[in-house]
Amino acid sequence: MKFSLTWLKDHLATDASLADLAAAMNRIGLEVEGIEDPAERLAGFTVAKVLTAAKHPDADKLQVLTVDTGTGDPLQVVCGAPNARAGMMGVLGQPGAVVPSNGMELRKSAIRGVESNGMMCSVRELELGEEHDGIIELPDDAPVGHSFADYHGSSPIFDVAITPNRPDCMGVYGIARDLAAAGMGTLKPIAKPAFTTTGACPTEIRTDDAEGCPAFYGRVVTGVKNGASPDWLQQRLQSAGQRPISLLVDLTNYLMLAYGRPAHAYDLSKLSGAVFARRAQDGEQVLALNEKTYTLDSQMTVIADDQGVHDIAGIMGGENSGCSESTTDVLLEIAYFNPERIGATGRNLGLSSDARTRFERGVDPAFLEQGLDLLTGLIVELGGGAASEAVHAGSPPSTAKIVTFDPALTQKLGGVAVDLAEQQRILESLDFTVDDSSAAWAVTVPLRRHDIEGPADLVEEVVRIYGIDDIASAALPRAEGVASPTASAEQKLERRVRRAAAGRGLNEAVTWSFLPVPEAEHFADGLQLWVLDNPISEDMKAMRPSMLPGLLTAVKRNMDRGASSLRLFEIGRRYFRNTDGSSNEKPTLGVVLAGEKVARGWAAGKAVHFDAFDAKAEAIALLADAGAPIEKLQIMGEAGAQFHPGQSGTLRLGPKNILARFGALHPSTLDAFDVDGPVVAAEIFLDAIPGKKGNAGFARTAYAPPVLQSVMRDFAFLVPADLPAADLARVIKGADKANIVDARIFDVFAGKGVPEGKKSLAIEVILQPCEKSYKDEDLKAISDKIVAAAGKLDAELRG
C-alpha cells in the first residue's frame, strides 16, 4: 500500500521526521518496504517564465523561446509545444536534469541549427499525469527560479506491506491511528464537509440477500458537475499508484484508500427502477469495468436493478452503469458484504481488485453511515449538486466482542513488563474499551478489528505498540557437552547435491512451489494434483508436480532479458495427492540447460547448443555425487510426454526404480511455456536413490594402489543397431568381476563393411591383475568370457 507523507499528515498531527515515522511503522508491525521521494526525480527542473517566443527559422512547428530562470541571464530554448507563448509560466528542465518519463539526460544542444539550453516540459514528461498536448502552464504568481519540486509540493511516498490480518490498516487513517497510539503524534478527527439533504431518496434501495449483503446504504445526488478532480485529490491518488479519472470515480477511490471503505457511484440515468442486492442467477453475465464479461452463479451476490445485474458485489462495478464525464446524477452505494462470500466469488471468477482485498479481509461495519456522509459531503463540496436523504437497508454486524484479559499475560506471553496504566492507555488509544473494575479486564473490541479473537491477541497489541525492540533477548537453555548432529540423512544428501551442482557451474534458482493449473497439468503425468481452494492468485493455484515448470519460467524470464546461455538447477519438493487424499511430497533436483553451450567464435565457428547428451551427463554426474551406484544404472526410455521421444531417456536401477529422467524437451512443452528452443533438462528423484546400508559411508576404506600394472584390451562387436551402448558395457563389466575393473565405449560405426541393421561398437576393457601378472592363457580365458557375455545381447566379435 502506497501513500504520501502529506496524505498521512492529513490525519496525523506530527513533527516526526520521515525516518522516525518509517522506523515507528516497522516497530509496530507495519513493514515499510520502501520510501520514494519524487523530489529527487524532479531535481534540475525550475519554475520559469517565457519572455519571448519567435518562430524557428528552419522549422514550421518549432519556436525559439527566451526563458527567465530567475538568475538574471535568460536562456534560449527550442520548443515544439503549441501552447508555448510569451508571458506564460512553465517548467524548464535545465542541462543535467533527467526526464522522469524516459530517463533522458538533458544537454545543451543545437536543434535545426539553433542552440537550446534544456527543455520546457509537459505533464507526462514529468510523470505527473497523462496530458501531453502542451507544456505545463503554471499560475502567473508562480515564483520564477524556484525549484519545481518544492513549488509542486512533492511529498515522500511510503510503500507499506499490510498483513492480511490487519484490514483496519488498509487505509491511511488506520495507519495514522496506529502511529498516534505509538506516540508519533495526535490523530486528527475525520473532517466531514457539511451538506443538507433535499428530501427522500427517489430510488428504492434494498437488500434481498441478507446473508451475502447484510447492509446496503445509499442515497442519490443530483446536479453534480463531474469534471477533473482538484490537484490535492489527484496528488494523493497518484501517490498511491492510482490514475485520476474523474471527480466521482476519484472520490470513491479516495474513500477506499484513505479510510479502507470501498464504495461505488452509479450513473442514475443508466439504472432502471429499484437498486438492490441479490443472489445472481446461474449463467447470468455481467460486463465489468475491466471490460471483461463474467458468468455468475447462484452463490454470488450482485447489485442489480429491475433490468439486470450492474455490479459484482464487493469486487467490481459494471461497465454499463459506470460514471462518465457527462454524468450529473448519481446513486451512491456503501454496503457491508459477507467476507467469505466475497472471497469465494473472487476465486471462482479469477477476479482481483482493491475492493475485494478489503471486503474479504473484513471492513469496518460501523463506518457505513459515516462513510456515506463523508463521500456525499466531498461530492457536494467539490462537484456541487443536491443530496437526498440516506437509505439504510438492512443492518451490519453490531455486536462487539468482549475479551476477558489478564494484564499479567503481557509479561508471561510477551516477555516484557508493561505498567497496567500503560497497557490500558495503549488499548484505549486503539479504540478498545477497557473495564478494569476487576483483576481480569473486560476489553470490548472495535468492530473493525476482526483479527482479535482472544487474550493473546491483546498481548500482541500491547507489545507491538509498547515496542518489540524493548523485549530483551534471552538465550535458549543448552545442555552441556557436544551437541548431537541434527541434520537428517535427507538434508545431508540435499546439501551435498547442491554443492555438487554449483561446483559443476550450474546456477541455483528458487521458484514458487505454486503454479497455474494448466502448467501443473502439463507435468502431472496422470497423477492427482494438489489444487488450493484459497490461492494467493490464480497463477499460484496448483502445487508443482515437477521442478521443471518453475525452471522453464525462469529460463523464459532470463531469455527475454537477453541471456544467451542458461544453466539452472533447483532442489525442492514435488507434490501429489495420494488416492486416500493424503499429501505426497518427493525431494527432487531439477536441471535445465538452455541457449548456447559454446558461443560462436573464430575457433568454434557457429554457436553450439546444449543437447540431450549434456542433460544425461549432468544427471549421471549428480547421481554419482549423491551416492547412487552409477555403474549399475540402466538407460531406458519413457522419460515422459514432456520430453522429445527420440532424444530422452531414464536412468534406472531395475525396470521400476527410476532415479532420473533426462533429454530434450518436447516442442509442445516449449510452446506451453513460450520458450524458444532447444532446451534440455534433467530431473533427479532424490527419494529413489538407495540409502547406504549399515555404517557404510561413515568410514572410508583406506586407499591401496595396485602393485601390478593394469592391462587394456580393445574389442569390436557387431550388435543390433537399436542396442544401447551402455548395455554392452554393463554386461562386459560383469563378465569377470575379479579381473575387469572398467569398460568404456570409444567408437561407434555404421556404414560400409557393417551389415544392414547392425552397428559396430568398439570397447576398451581395463583388466587389473591382483597377485601375479597375466599369462596368455589368462588373457584368453578372460576374453572368452567377454565374448560370451556380449553374445547374450546378440553381439558378435567383429573380424
**What residue numbers does the annotated binding site for Mg(2+) cover?**
451, 457, 460-461
Q: Which residue type, as a one-letter code, is found at position 762? A: A
Return the half-sphere exposure (C-beta side, CA atoms, 13 A cut-off) of residue 72.
Answer: 0
Q: Which of 569, 457, 452 is nearest to 507 (CA)?
A: 569
The DSSP H or E segment spanning 660 is strand 657-665
Residue 23, Cβ neighbours under 10 Å: how many? Answer: 15
Report the Cα 360 to chain-centroid distance in Å: 20
- Helices 231-239 and 247-259 pack at an angle, to 10 degrees, of 50
Q: Which of 6, 358, 369 is nearest to 167 (CA)?
A: 358
Length of the chain: 799
**SS3 (DSSP) at 182:** coil
Helices (H), 700-765: 725-733
Which residues, in sequence order, are CB contacts of 412 under 8 Å at separation 6+? none
Residue numbers in the known binding site are: 451, 457, 460-461
Q: Which of 246, 252, 267, 253 is nearest to 323 (CA)?
A: 267
What does 302-357 look like in DSSP terms, one character per residue? EEE-SS-EEEETTTEEBGGG---TT---EEEEEEE--HHHHHHHHHHHT---HHHH
The DSSP H or E segment spanning 515 is strand 514-515
Instruction: Evaluate the CA torsion angle 476, 479, 480, 486 in order and state its sign.
Output: negative
Radius of gyration, CA atoms only, the chain = 37
Which residues, in sequence order, are CB contacts of 765 under 8 Å at separation 6+? 712, 713, 714, 715, 732, 740, 742, 743, 786
Q: Which of 631, 557, 633 is nearest to 592 (CA)?
A: 557
**Exposed / middle / buried, residue 439 (Cβ in 10 Å: 0-12, 13-18, 19+):** exposed
User: How far is residue 657 from each of residues 523, 619, 687, 701, 727, measured CA to CA in Å?
Assistant: 19, 15, 10, 28, 17
Angle ∠(209,167,219) on CA atoms, nearest 5: 45
The DSSP H or E segment spanning 665 is strand 657-665
The torsion region of residue 338 among left (phi > 0), alpha (psi -120 to 50) and beta comes to beta
Which residues, in sequence order, are CB contacts of 461 under 8 Å at separation 6+? 426, 427, 430, 432, 452
DSSP state letter for 410 = H
What the block records as the C-alpha cell of 21 is 515515522
Q: Which of 660, 593, 601, 595 is nearest to 626 (CA)?
A: 660
Q: Are the C-beta atoms of 23 and 160 separated by less than 8 Å?
A: no
Instruction: Evaluate the CA torsion angle 382, 383, 385, 386 in order and state its sign.
Output: negative
Q: Which residue type, as a one-letter code, is found at position 232? A: W
Distance, in Å, from the CA atom of 497 to the CA atom of 588, rounded to the nearest integer, reads 11
What does 751-774 look like in DSSP terms, one character per residue? STTS-TTEEEEEEEEEE--SSSPP
